[in-house]
Structures are given as structure tokens and as C-alpha cells.
Homo-oligomer: A and B are copies of this chain.
Amino acid sequence: MAERTVDISSPILSRNERLAAELRERFARTHTFVVNVLSSPGSGKTSTILATDALLREYGLRSAVIEGDIASDVDAITMKEAGIPAVQINTGGLCHLEGNMISQAVDALDEGVGLANIDVIFIENVGNLVCPVDFDLGENLCVMILSVPEGDDKPVKYPGIFQHAGAVLLNKIDVAPAFDFDRDAYNATLDDLNPQAPRFEVSATKGTGMDAWAAWLREQIAAVRA
């Protein structure tokens, strides 16, 4: 069953790879570090980006956000209220972001604030643990956010996205006592799937653990610019 789907989507995928390569060159030229933020709906992508931006500002780094949603512009409004330049993409029902949408959004950011004034672009992908993995957006880093209430078995059930991630955040650890989340089982699965990616345990809304994540991210940004 899966093969048929791969056959059908391959023209889109190869077109997307070309667009992703163009985006990657463009980001390299403008020294823009790009983070593709992936998670289920409601794991805390928006609050993580907000809290990360606040810490990166302390390092003198300026963020912008590309918001991907099926519908609505509530997240872009939230970002703008926090003083972060934001562009909303509505996919009109599509379950992931693709390179052509990012190209248009980057054009809009460039016309608005100018890419020269942006150090980091966070792309908040559609909340989905499956489809976004197949679409390279020219990013430097994919960060995967799992939240404690979703359960420790999610890496077992959705291995592809956890293998793909360059960093894994376990969010909402402030509510861990209320949930039956087995950290050992979670870590053992990630040891198998993706031992290279650093893991951070955080509460984006409470600020717990965010310093370590932001410091690591700052290092990645500096390494790319060096």
C-alpha cells in the first residue's frame, strides 16, 4: 500500500527537493539559520518558539517565524503580539508545508523586515507526526517536540520523525507528575532510533530547561556562520 503512495507523490517530492536546494542556497547567502519545528498538534510548538526567541534575544539574535496551519492565523497573531515578525501560511487542508510555500513566505519576510535583519527563521510546521518529514524545506535543523501527555510510546509508533530530528525536546515536563510517562522507556527508544540528536527536557511555558536548549541552539547558529 505504501509503495503506491510513494509512486504518486514522487513528482512532488523531487520538485520539492529542487526548491529546498534553492532555499538552502538562499539561506546560506543571507546567513539565515532556519529551524523546522515539528510535533503533534498541541505539543507546544508556538510556546517553545516564543520562549526560545526571548532567550535568543539575550544573545542579540533576531528571530522571525513562518506559521504553517491548515486554517486560521491565531499563531501568527500571537507572534506579532510578541514583537516577532511572522508570516502565516494557510495550507488549505494540506497536511504539511512544502518548499514553494516557504519560498513565498521568505519573500514576504524579505520585503517586510529584510532577511539581513533576521538571524533565525523558525518554521512552525503543521501539527503532524507523519507527513512533514518527507518535505525538506531547506532548513539547517529539524527539531522534534514531544509533550509528556502524549506518552512515552510515541517514538515507537512514529519512528520516522524521531529518526529525522536533529534535536528532540520533551515538553510539558512541569506536568509529568500527573502522567504515567516512562522516561527510561522513552530514552531507550531514542537511543535506538537516533542516539546522535541531543535531547532536552523542558517546560516552554514555565521556562524550565529552556536555557540549555537555547544555548545549544546558539552554538549551532554560530557554527554555521563561522
Binding site for B on A (CB under 8 A): 1-2, 4-5, 8-9, 12, 40-43, 69-72, 74-75, 91-95, 98, 100-101, 126-131, 147, 149-151, 153-154, 156-160, 172, 174-175, 178-179
A101 contact set on B, CB distance < 8 A: 1
Cross-chain contact B1 with A94 (CB below 8 angstroms): yes
A160 contact set on B, CB distance < 8 A: 70-71, 93
Q: Which 10 A-B pairs have the closest CB atoms?
A: A42-B150, A2-B92, A149-B149, A95-B130, A40-B41, A40-B40, A42-B151, A175-B178, A72-B156, A95-B131
Cross-chain contact A69 with B157 (CB below 8 angstroms): yes
**When A41-B40, A127-B40 are in contact, do A5 and B94 touch as well, CB less than 8 Å?**
yes
Per a CB cutoff under 8 Å, which of B4, B69, B91, B129 touches A127? Answer: B129
A157 contact set on B, CB distance < 8 A: 41, 69-72, 74-75, 127
Q: Within the assembled complex, what's the spacing in Å between the Cα atoms of A40 and B147?
A: 12
Per a CB cutoff under 8 Å, which of B40, B74, B93, B131 touches A2? Answer: B93
Cross-chain contact B94 with A2 (CB below 8 angstroms): yes
In the assembled complex, the CB of A182 is this many whole angstroms from the nearest CB of chain B, namely 13
Known A72-B153, A72-B156; further 9 A-B contacts with Cβ < 8 A = A1-B92, A8-B9, A41-B157, A71-B156, A72-B159, A74-B153, A94-B130, A174-B178, A175-B175
